[in-house]
Structure 1
Amino acid sequence: MRIPGPEERDDGGVGAVAAAGGLHLYQLRLHAEYGPVVRFQLPGAGTAVSVADPVLLEATAHVDKRPERLFEFLAPLCEAENLQVLNAAEHGPWRRLLLSVFAGRPSHERHYARFTALATELADRWAEQAGHGPVALQKDLTSLSLRMICEYALGGAAGLADPERVTAAFEVVLSEYLGRDRGAPRDGASAAEALAYLRGVVDDVIAAHRAGGRTDRSDLIGALVEAGERPERIRDTVMVTLLAAHHTTGVAVSWTLHLLGLNPAAADRVAVELDRVVGDRVAPDFAGLRRLTYLELVLKESMRLYPPGPYGARETTEHLVLGGYEVPAGTTIFYPFWALHMNPAYWPEPRTFRPERFTPAEAAGRPRFAYVPFGLGPRGCEGSGLAMVEAELVLAVLLKRFRFRPAPGHEVTPVERFVLWAADDIRMIVEPREPHAVRREPLPAQDGERDAWHT
């Protein structure tokens, strides 16, 4: 039985994607018209099969191969091999090593104070700007995100003699090597200079670790040095880490603030929780972050509606059957995360912002792949835990001090730019807020909500 889908076009599918307004919107249209499994032309990869049903995705969850053609744009960052498309035999041990750092609480705690300071610096700037027009959330928050991941990946503040130059150099690399057209650099000389500088910074940090005999596995470079990895592979790992994480936190926080601006009742509830947990401090401590349980629900619902990475892809290494359709080995399987998150079979009224979807009672009734903001399987994001810590902390710092309102007349339009971006940023009015009186009694519980959410 042939997989349903649109007729093939001579342009390889580029025109259909453009006419839909982007690949993220094209996927919504395809699955609405053809069902949960769709055959379509994916520019750069030939014919692909898109799967928007979480139960059917179970059959692909073990796949540990990425389509190499789709990741050729990373080649300029890699001296050794493209870490994103390592074969499964090499990728498995490498993933375990990265998880030992990224997923570990010691790593998060080690950098938490510095993350707090960076978030507080941004809040201070916004406080000075209050009353002087709207703030461009994505611009400022992705800059903060890049600063945080640079310091994390390069060993903390001690590893950055000139943090502003590091972040500026990486922005040059992104814009020149990884522009939207993924074509040739517009200014190869400046991009090569910036890339050489970044590699030199990493080399200096590696040398400092070796000279000092450091073996701290909560430090990314320290763990890689201890594992005996060669400098080229360490440099590649740091560069790919910066690429993967430079926008994620900032974009997730931006969309969350946008949604809270449109839903003031939820914003009030977050504010009450923050005042109770954080008190008169500027930010929660690391343990207190876990008590901001309603804030976590809000962030998850925001990433359902606006997943930072709207899609992913794998390449089958064996014959599969998906929903009764034959899928041969070597097929590109496309993961339309945004379409998954909008599937009304698992998300009633999917476009409605309702954080209570993520209460334990409601979440227990959904397939595990109905919500995949960080991907799935052996190629899922190793830094998902770190990203959640960063995002919740930044939200806590900002929402403790400010209320956010949509800028009058500003339209927010999602587009794809490696992440789910807003075309003309997300511009909001930022106003200082008065702390709520700390309430000792529990808040009215939502359906299926844990009492612990209000302690």
Structure 2
Amino acid sequence: MRDIPGPPAQSDGGLSAIADAGGLHTYQLHLHETYGPLVRFQLPGASSAISVADPVLLEATAATNKRPDKLFEFLAPLCEAGNLQTLPADEHAPFRRALLSVLAGRPSHEAHFPAFTTLATDLADRWAGHAGPVALQQDLSELSLRMICQYALGGGIDDPSRVVSAFETVLTVYLGRLYKHEDDLERAGRALAYLREVVDGVLAADGSELVTALVKAGLSPARVRDSVLMIMLAAHHTTGVAVSWTLHLLSRHPAHAVRVTEEVDAVLGDRPTPSYADLRRLPYLEMALKESMRLYPPGPYGARETTEDLTLAGHPIPAGTTIFYPFWAIHLNPAYWPDPLTFLPDRFTPAEQAKRPRYAYVPFGLGPRNCEGASLAMIEAELVLAVLLKRFHFDPVAHHPVTPVERFVLWAEHDIHMHLTARHAA
């Protein structure tokens, strides 16, 4: 792989280069801007790694079903029965089928839609009575957490704010260890113990569709517990963050915001909330959401490990190589996204989408380990956006920095603060 372009080797395994770039997510942008769509680089936790930012090359690796153990080691503390993120393919397949049976069913989505609408409306009512700006990511992540518990886990939780904060503590500390950062492991341990208490409470609730499916798939009680914890982590982060970035971008692009709100008003009329069927009648809202996930993909990267030799762009890639998927860099590749930093929802008309390769847009990952909850996340996000944009006009707080940082998802470092102006009462 030495003939693949890339930066000079560093004695610290690339840690200083990642730190100097402001994190792995921004380092990937720099690598691909400098060296092209296929880059050889040093990655903590990988003996050899290449990064692929071209969708055509990605397709050659899409069927790979092994995640690098070392790279996902930071999630191991959340899993007492083996790291769910690195399960071998034969163990992962029945687990995935069980998740899809619950999370990907449209009849189930429609059945839960009224409960989701109530939760979204409750948040809008709370915001309507709130004095001063709101913190989007915190509140929307809590809402997403309530939704996944309502949908798949059989009930609610008492203190979603504390759960969101505990997840952030666990991820910040354990992800930091991958980059040799010293942090408070005792604090992370307390947060993790609290999360496990919450999961035990969820598992004690009746009517959990997801737990039933996992048990039928043959998962042990310990692995069921781990699965619930990981699903709570993934589901609340991705949906809440995606909605937050969409509102952030619309607030800074008034013409697009007007188009979305006019569409929402036309479809909903005097109703404060959409029906499940209404979502199909909100194409511009969906396009704005997709474009926001292009510019700020909730998961900024993924990775696989080759289990056999392969060839990419004429370069031999040996088995055991870490293939890094820099989703953010893929989404900003100017060969497929002209003027890539500009927010343009019309990139996602059916005609425009048909012009691009399949893997030019991968907000939920790709291949046999992509996100099982992708369709559910889109429904939740579109519903929440419709409810909030019907009720409020969003204005950014002046001089408040909005800086993307890697916290397992692409998070805004100091949250995203907004002033709200009422448009329509509930």
Query: Is TM (by shorter chain) over 0.5?
Result: yes
Question: Which deviates further from its counterpart, 265-274 or 183-192?
Answer: 183-192
Distance in 2 (alpha carbons) for counterparts of 1:296 and 1:169 = 29
Return 59-68 or 69-78, whichever deviates more. Answer: 69-78
Indicate whether 1:284 and 2:249 are aligned. Answer: no
**Residue of 158, 168, 181 corresponding to 1:164:** 158
Give the Cα separation in 1 of the matches to 2:48 and 2:32: 16
Paired amino acid for 2:53? A
Paired with 1:186 and 1:125, the residues of 2 have a C-alpha distance of 35
1:312 aligns with 2:302: yes
User: Pairwise mapping of residues 314-333 of structure 1 onto structure 2 (< 5 A)?
Assistant: 314-333=304-323
What are the Cα deviations for residues 422-452 of structure 1, in whole angstroms up to 9, with x where unaligned? 12211121111259xxxxxxxxxxxxxxxxx
Q: Deviations over 1:394-440 (max 9, x none)?
A: 101100011111212222211111111112211121111259xxxxx
SS in 2 for 1:247: helix
The answer on whether the counterparts of 1:144 and 1:250 sit within 8 Å (CA) in structure 2 is yes
Distance 1:192 1:98, change over 3 A: closer
| SS of match in other structure, 2:197 | helix
SS at match of 2:337: coil
The CA deviation string for residues 124-180 of structure 1, in whole angstroms up to 9 with x for no partner, is: 121112xx432221121112222222333322xxx34xx224663464355146535
Tell me the SS of whatever aligns to 2:393.
strand
Displacement of 1:324: 1.3
**1:140-159 equivalent positions in 2, closer than 5 A:** 140-155=139-154, 159=155
Selected match of 1:412 from 377, 384, 402: 402
* Pick aligned residue for 2:176 from 157, 167, 181: 181
Consecutive unaligned residues of structure 2, counting only runs of 5 or more, are 178-182
Question: Is the CA contact (8 Å cut-off) linking 1:12 and 1:46 kept in structure 2?
Answer: no
In the other structure, the counterpart of 1:190 is 190
Tell me, yes or no, if structure 1 residue 253 matches structure 2 residue 249.
no
Question: Aligned letter for 1:139?
Answer: Q
- Contact 1:259/1:302 (8 A) holds in 2: yes
Equivalent residue number for residue 230 of structure 2:
240
Deviation at 1:93, TM superposition (A): 2.5
- Give unpaired runs (5+ residues) of structure 1: 210-215, 436-455
SS at 2:42's partner residue? Answer: strand
**1:201 maps to which residue?**
201
Q: 1:346 to 1:223 in 2, by over 3 A?
A: same
Paired position in structure 2 for 1:76: 77
Q: Which amino acid aligns with 1:146?
A: L
- Displacement of 1:230 after TM fit? 2.6
Please tell me whether the aligned partners of residues 172 and 407 of structure 2 are also in contact (alpha carbons under 8 angstroms): no
**SS, match of residue 191 in structure 1:** helix
Q: Residues 106 and 233 (structure 1 numbering): CA distance in 2 closer, same or farther, change over 3 Å?
A: farther
CA contact (8 A) 1:6 1:40 kept: yes
**Residue 60 of structure 1: SS of its match in structure 2?**
coil
TM-score by length of 1: 0.87
Residue pair 1:65, 1:315 contacting (<8 A) in 2 also: yes
Q: Which protein is bigger by CA-based radius of gyration?
A: 1
Of the candidates 265, 275, 279, which is equivalent to residue 265 of structure 2?
A: 275
1:349 is matched with which residue? 339
1:431 aligns with 2:421: yes
Change (3 A) 1:357 1:384: same
- The two structures have a TM-score, normalised by structure 2, of 0.93
**Alignment check: 8 A CA contact 2:145 2:160 kept:** no
Post-superposition shift, 1:226?
A: 3.5
The count of residues paired between Structure 1 and Structure 2 equals 418
The equivalences for 1:196-235 within 5 A come to 196-205=196-205, 208=206, 219-235=209-225
> Residue 69 of structure 1: SS of its match in structure 2?
coil
Query: C-alpha separation between the residues in 2 aligned to 1:124 and 1:140?
Result: 13
Choose 220-229 or 272-281, whichever is displaced more: 220-229
* CA distance in 2 between partners of 1:12 and 1:329 (Å): 20
Report if the CA contact (8 A) 1:150-1:166 is conserved: no
Corresponding residue SS for 2:388: helix
Q: Which amino acid aligns with 1:168?
A: R
Q: Counterpart of 1:136?
A: 135
For 2:405, what is the secondary structure of its paired residue? strand
Distance of 1:237 and 1:352 partners within structure 2: 38
